[in-house]
Homo-oligomer: A and B are copies of this chain.
Amino acid sequence: MGSPAKRVLRYEVAMPVDAFLADLSAVLPERALVREQERVAPWLTDWRGRWTGASKALLEPGTTEEVAIIVRLSGEHRVGLVPQGGNTSMVGGATPPADGDAVLLSLRRMTRVRALEAGSAIVEAGVILADLHAAAAASGQRFPLTLGARGSATVGGLIATNAGGTQVLRFGTMRAQVLGLEAVIAGGLVHDGLGGLKKDNRGTSLDQLLIGSEGTLGIVTAARLRLIPAIAERGVAWVGLDSAEAAWSLLGQLEEASERVEGFELVPAECLASVLDHVPGTRSPLEQTHRWNALIEVTAGRGEPEPPTATLERLLAPALESGRVADAVIAGSEAQAEALWKLRDSISEAERKRGPAAQHDISVPPAVMARFMTDAATRVEHAFPGTRAFGYGHLGDGNVHFHVRAPAASSRDWAESGEGKAVSRLVHDLVTDSGGSISAEHGIGQMKKDELARLASPARLQALRAIKQAMDPRGIFNPGKLVD
């Protein structure tokens, strides 16, 4: 121990990162290379505290040119780069490996709104979602994607994970909002797709390739994003239903009759009870308890002839008459609409207060979702006595938050225990059997890498690995995530 030979060996192993940082310090502005560990440390652990990594420095480039220099030199030294935006990954996607061989690359200083036009904005990767919403609103427009982490999640991270949220039903995921990307790929080459061409058939789309690639194929530095006219008005309804199938059929009828159905969130009685028990200031919107509930939002832009509450009345009246909907209430004011949404948005908080549980970010084909929720819950509860399982969420997207409550008296970290993990494997097996995805919104990151390798088709694995090798021959982009 401590022999000279060993010390030399250790020194050589550490060399690439040190040499990389030394080269960078010669060409980057001082502000872009942070070496003080107390400034690096806060970004080494994900926001939920599940993963912690190491990095000898924090790179904070302010321009695309600086990102290009970083990528070029990291390739020459074969040093990994871990891109990070708001550090809100749910799957450890922005946490560096523990060995300290890779370096954190934060895009947070790239916060310029380069252009804001009718129909689109060009924003840099570090722009926070809430700031994008505000910039769009200031121009009488809106950016039609939102999610819980909007106060910290950045555009770059949203693109790298193809983020979803509550408006996917009408407007699609992040993929549908991206009109063009700027990104730095291997060798420090800059791909400039910010022109926003609506038609461009020069081979496969590099923009599409990078969306959802979790920083493993290149570094997104800016994007042209779609903006749409601001909402003038919204109408929100809460309906009680006897079955998930009834909800599915109602959604189909609504979508056929109007293009303005923007949200359709399914809430089982369990979830509503949990919210009413644990979240102060909430009350049941309907007099009776219904096995299932749906929160429906319809919007109207300026100049639309029919107000959205009238649309809701027109759409729901026949369903109420025929008994397909058991009961319904339409919010009479924006305050009432907010109150209905609060019931939906408080489910996670209420369930956390209620006790330990394993959550699953999964999707199944929309047409089988209603049945999946019932069948999978039965299977899980049968296999793991004492658990209670149910799905809730964005029905039209087929994206269930599949929630399994731990048996009574389980420890707080039950989800990470042997039983909790076995539950998750079963859920993932059932999802795969139904033709679904083990990651609907959050990505694979570190957390689901083994499950992806276990459950993905040979075609998907072959393609993902081949593309990774092709786009990142020196293994510098977000090492240890998604695929090896």
> A residues within 8 Å of B by Cβ?
117-119, 161-162, 164, 168, 172-173, 175-176, 185-187, 189-192, 195-206, 208-214, 216-217, 229, 252, 255-259, 301-303, 305-306, 314, 363-367, 394, 396-399, 435-444, 452, 456-460, 462-464, 466-467, 469-471, 473, 482-483
- Contacts A209-B209, A229-B256, A441-B199 hold; do A367 and B303 have CB atoms under 8 A apart? no
| CB–CB B191/A204 < 8 A | no
| CB–CB A201/B460 < 8 A | no
What 13 new A-B contacts, CB under 8 Å, besides A192-B435, A229-B256? A117-B367, A189-B457, A191-B459, A191-B460, A191-B463, A195-B436, A196-B367, A197-B437, A198-B399, A201-B212, A202-B438, A203-B460, A470-B471
Candidates B211, B212, B301; contact of A259 at CB < 8 Å: B301
Bound-state Cα–Cα, A444 to B204, Å: 11
| CB–CB B399/A199 < 8 A | yes
Could you say how many copies of this chain the assembly holds? Answer: 2
A224 CB to nearest B CB, Å? 9
Bound-state Cα–Cα, A365 to B214, Å: 28
Could you write out 30 A-B pairs with CB less than 8 Å apart? A118-B252, A118-B256, A164-B201, A173-B198, A189-B459, A190-B457, A190-B459, A191-B463, A195-B435, A195-B436, A196-B365, A198-B399, A199-B363, A199-B399, A200-B363, A202-B444, A202-B456, A203-B216, A204-B464, A205-B208, A205-B211, A206-B459, A208-B209, A208-B211, A209-B463, A305-B306, A463-B471, A466-B471, A467-B467, A467-B470
A207 CB to nearest B CB, Å? 9
| CB–CB A458/B229 < 8 A | no
| CB–CB B398/A198 < 8 A | yes
A195 CB to nearest B CB, Å? 4
A28 CB to nearest B CB, Å? 21
- Contacts A436-B197, A463-B191, A470-B466 hold; do A203 and B363 have CB atoms under 8 A apart? no
Bound-state Cα–Cα, A452 to B202, Å: 8
Bound-state Cα–Cα, A87 to B148, Å: 49
Which partner residue on chain B sits nearest A204 by CB separation? B213
Bound-state Cα–Cα, A479 to B154, Å: 41
- Contacts A191-B459, A192-B457, A258-B303 hold; do A204 and B199 have CB atoms under 8 A apart? no
Q: Which residues of B contact A256 (CB under 8 A)?
A: 118, 229, 302
A262 CB to nearest B CB, Å? 12
Candidates B189, B252, B440; contact of A199 at CB < 8 Å: B440
A89 CB to nearest B CB, Å? 12
| CB–CB A199/B173 < 8 A | yes
Which partner residue on chain B sits nearest A315 by CB separation? B303
A463 CB to nearest B CB, Å? 5
Candidates B208, B305, B444; contact of A203 at CB < 8 Å: B444
Q: Which residues of B contact A175 (CB under 8 A)?
A: 205, 208
Q: Which residues of B contact A216 (CB under 8 A)?
A: 203
